[in-house]
């Protein structure tokens, strides 16, 4: 097991559009180890979701665990949203934008098709926080960050705040 470095805004690599995973590769040891390393990295942060893009792997998958007890690990490979209903506003954060939180409006309920860590096709109806998290992580796979929903001025303030945080951490 290993902790993976997380890319941070405004790193241009976070803008990469991820390519689909070959489902035949999912059960290979190298891919399973990468999933374990992503869970370890997410739990250590601590976070509730981590997309492969955030650890500089530009393939379409993510790990999520929204449970309090951190005992409900979920893997979504090649996710696709089949259906959406309603809107919800949630105050989001992101391991790639540390210390920044902002309200984002997303679908309240989604139906998502994906491949699980056993390589099996699945369909899931999700709402509430899980639905938010899936949509947030799927945005990463398309090179999109939650701060992109903010105005350009607010996004610039976020960039400056992160630069200052990094300067102070280094000093
Ligand atoms: C995405 O985010 C998400 O700023 C996952 O200093 C967020 O795990 C989906 C984190 C909210 C739905 C709702 C953020 C940890 C973790 C920080 C995360 C930080 C330390 C964010
Ligand atoms: Co994120």
- Is 137 labeled as catalytic in the residue annotation? yes
Whole-number percent of the chain with pLDDT over 70: 100
Helix, strand or coil, per DSSP, at residue 27? coil
- What's the gap in Å between 50 CA and the centre of ligand 1? 9
Is any atom of ligand 1 closer than 6 Å to the C-beta of 138? Answer: no
Q: Which atom of ligand 1 is nearest to the CA of 98?
A: 4
d(CA 147, CA 149): 5
In this prediction the pTM is: 0.98
pLDDT of 23: 96
Contact 5, 55 (CB under 8 A): yes
Inter-CA distances, 129 with 27, 99, 136, Å: 28, 19, 10
Smallest CA separation from ligand 1 atom 19, residue: 98
Ligand 1 binding pocket includes 29 (Cβ within 6 Å)? no
Residue 165 has a pLDDT of 95
SS3 content of the chain, % helix, strand, coil (to 5): 35, 30, 35
Residue 88: phi and psi, rounded to 5, are -145, 150
């Amino acid at each position: 097991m290993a902790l993976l470095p997380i890319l941070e805004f405004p790193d241009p690599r976070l803008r990469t559009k991820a390519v689909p995973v070959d489902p035949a590769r999912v059960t290979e040891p190298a891919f399973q180890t990468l999933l374990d390393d992503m869970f370890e990295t997410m739990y250590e942060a601590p976070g509730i979701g981590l997309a492969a893009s955030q650890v500089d792997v530009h393939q379409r998958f993510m790990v999520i665990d929204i449970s309090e007890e951190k005992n409900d690990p979920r893997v979504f490979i090649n996710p696709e949203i089949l259906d959406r209903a309603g809107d919800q506003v949630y105050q989001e954060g992101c391991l790639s934008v540390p210390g920044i939180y902002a309200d984002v409006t997303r679908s309240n309920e989604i139906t998502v098709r994906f491949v699980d860590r056993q390589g099996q096709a699945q369909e899931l109806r999700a709402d509430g926080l899980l639905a938010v998290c899936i949509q947030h992580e799927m945005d990463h796979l398309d090179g999109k960050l939650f701060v992109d929903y903010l105005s350009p001025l607010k996004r610039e303030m976020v960039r400056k705040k992160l630069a200052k945080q990094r300067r102070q951490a280094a000093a």
